[in-house]
Structure 1
Amino acid sequence: MVAIPISRTIAIDSDELVESFTRASGPGGQHVNTTDSAVMLRFDVAASPSLPDAVKHRLAVVAGSRMTREGVLVLRSEGARSQLLNRQEVRDRLIEMIREALIVPKTRRPTKPGKAAKARRVDAKKARASVKQGRGKVSID
């Protein structure tokens, strides 16, 4: 039972992660046909006691299609020829996703233009109007 640190206050128990190993696709010759180097990590976000509810909701947004309807996050790595490197890579991706979900987005407060901005706008309109006013037919008197 090893805890994986995410932040100062949040750590995930390694028992919450389910890893399965399969054969990786792609090049590798005879080696790829004999070793289970691809790693599929499953993390049940909905049932995790380690994450607060707000983080779970933001993690669902960050995960997108990698999250199942049941709330299970599924990540797969088969880039390296080593199972150990793929395990580390998929765990690093999970930690990065959770850290991204920890960031609370700032709420936008609608603002109105100030008096000076309104005055500049009106002055610009008047200047443009006077330029256009100067155009037109010239009358000879």
Structure 2
Amino acid sequence: MPEARHVFVYGTLRRGGRNDINRLTPAPRYVGMGEVKGCLYHLDWYPGLALGGEQPVTVVGEVYEVSPQLEAVLDEIEAIVPGPDSEYFKRELPVDVGGRPIACLVYEINPARVAGKRRIEHGDWVLFSSGEKNIS
């Protein structure tokens, strides 16, 4: 039987976001705040994370333990499909959680989707999206 895995969520799946992972079933278990190095982009009402890259910043997010059933739901939300045209690609990598690495699934944006998109220099989607709401 497949075991639970960890996932790093950095955008609308974060607590209070449009797709808050805590509203999904089966319920995840919160582990802590995490960080990865990459470039965060504003695509529309949601972000995309490109891992590494030129001048990466610290991208912050939340780490949860998820069941295989919830992982399948996340794959649907992130539009994971076979082949190079998927909107996101699912990666597994160590995420820093309170100074210790935890192997996590990370949904990385397809590089073709970020061409010409605005980069979020501070790496925090919640901070960025709350600022955008205050400007509107």
The TM-score with structure 2 as length reference comes to 0.31
Greater RCO, 1 or 2 (C-alpha within 8 Å, sep 6+): 2
Greater gyration radius:
1
What TM-score results when the alignment is normalised by the length of structure 1? 0.30
Structure 1 or 2: more strand by fraction: 2
